[in-house]
Structure 1
Amino acid sequence: MRIRQATGADAPAIAAVHVRSWQAAYQGLVPQDYLDDLDPARRLPGWERLLAETAWPRKGVLVAETEGNVVGFAGLTPTRDDDEDPASVAEITTIYLTPETWGRGIGKDLMNAALGALTGAGYRQATLWVLDTNVRARRFYEAAGWHGDGAIKRDATRGFPLTEVRYRRLLM
C-alpha cells in the first residue's frame, strides 16, 4: 500500500471510489434512489476541478493505492467554517475507501498521512464533518483521537435532509 499526493490523472479513480463508498457506507442512511443514481461520470468534473486547485502543502488530495490501483482518498483544505481561522484550522473534507478495503488498516494509514500533511503545513487543529447517523465512521474517527465539538449543520441540498456533526482534534 502506498499513499501519495493525487494528480489530475487520478480524478476518474477518485470519482469511482467516491461513488462506491457512498453507495456502501450510506445504505440505510440516505434514500436508496439517491445512492442508486450516483454516477462516477457525473462526479468527475468536480474532482477534476478540485484537483486543479491543489495548493500543497495547504490544500490537496491524498490517494491510497494497492497494486497500483486507487482504493481510497482524503481531501484536505483550510477550514471552510466561518467560525474558524483558516490560517490555523484545517479540514478533512473527504475520506473514503473502496468497501472491500474496509477494516484492513488502509483508512487508519490514510488518516495518519492526512494528519501528518496538515501538521507539516503548519495547521494547529483539524476538523471534519460526519453524518450524525454514520456510526461506523464516528467510531473510526473517535478511535483516531477525534471528538465532537458540538457544532451541527443541516443540509437539504440533495433533496433530503442530512444532519452532520463536526469533529475536531489537535495537531502536533
Structure 2
Amino acid sequence: MTEADGPVSPLVVRDMTLADCDRVAEIRIRGWQRAYRGLMPQPYLDALSVAEDAERRRALFGRADGGVVNLVAVGAPRGPSRHRGNAGAVIGWAALGPYRDGEIRTGDAELYAIYVDAGHLGTGVGRALLQESVRLAGARGQSRLYLWVLKENAPARRFYERAGFRADGAEEPFEVDGAVVPEVRYVRRLTG
C-alpha cells in the first residue's frame, strides 16, 4: 500500500493507556529491528525484547507527570498485519514532550518517537500521528518542535521533510553496542 492509497479508515489518534503498553512495545521493537537494520549492529537489534520494553513502558506510564504525551493510532487495520480485522487495534505510537538539551528541558517541544506497525506503513498512520503531535505542541504554546533521526535513515528523513521539518545542522553521535551511529536534528516552527 502506498500513500496514494490514502489513510487507514477509520483511524483515531488518542492518548495511550496502560493497556496499550504491550502493543506499543511490540510496534516499537519491531520498528527498530526493521528501520535500523544495516544502520546499527545486528546483534543489538536481535537482542531487543518486546517483553522488557513493555515492562519499561508500564513503569514509565506509572511515573508520568503530564509533561510527556504518548499517542496511539487505532483503527480497522488493513494489510498483512497479524492484527488485521481487530477494530480498535493499536497500529502506531508517538511520544512527545519538552525538548531536552542535555539534562535541561526547554520551552520547545521534542518528538521523542514515532513508530507504525509494518503492515500499515505508507497508509497515513504515521502522518496522522505526526500531525496530532504538531497540533498538540502548538496548542501548548510551544514555538518549535524538534526531533532527532539517524543520519543514514533516509526514509525517515524524507518523511519528516515532507511534513515541513528541516535539518538545522545539529548532529550528535549515538553509541549503540560499541558502534557510533550519528543522529541529525530536525526542527519545525509551530504557529501555536
Instruction: Point out where structure 2 has 5 or more consecutive residues left out of the alignment.
Output: 1-10, 76-86
RMSD over aligned Cα atoms? 1.7
Instruction: Point out where structure 1 has 5 or more consecutive residues left out of the alignment.
Output: none
Secondary structure of 1:79 counterpart: strand
> Which residue of the partner structure matches residue 125 of structure 1?
144
Q: CA deviation at 1:81?
A: 1.5
Contact 1:8 1:51 survives alignment (8 Å): yes
String of CA shifts for 1:110-153, please: whole Å, max 9, x gaps.
10011111111111111000000000000000000000011111
Correspondence 1:166 to 2:176? no
Code of the residue aligned with 2:179 in structure 1: it is F
The whole-number CA distance in structure 2 between the counterparts of 1:157 and 1:33 is 11
Give the 3 Å change call, closer, same or farther, for CA 11–85 of structure 1 in structure 2.
Answer: closer
Correspondence 1:68 to 2:88? yes
The whole-number CA distance in structure 2 between the counterparts of 1:157 and 1:32 is 10
Give the 3 Å change call, closer, same or farther, for CA 60–90 of structure 1 in structure 2.
Answer: same
Contact 1:53 1:60 survives alignment (8 Å): no
Q: CA deviation at 1:39?
A: 1.1
Pairing 1:30-69 to 2, within 5 Å after superposition: 30-56=40-66, 58-66=67-75, 67-69=87-89
Give the 3 Å change call, closer, same or farther, for CA 29–72 of structure 1 in structure 2.
Answer: same
Secondary structure of 1:86 counterpart: strand
Mean alpha-carbon deviation: is it higher for 137-146 or for 149-158?
149-158
Overall identity of the aligned pairs, in %:
37
Secondary structure of 1:152 counterpart: strand
Larger radius of gyration between Structure 1 and Structure 2: 2
Q: CA deviation at 1:159?
A: 3.0
Normalised to the residue count of structure 2, the TM-score between the two structures is 0.83
Normalised to the residue count of structure 1, the TM-score between the two structures is 0.92
Contact 1:91 1:128 survives alignment (8 Å): yes
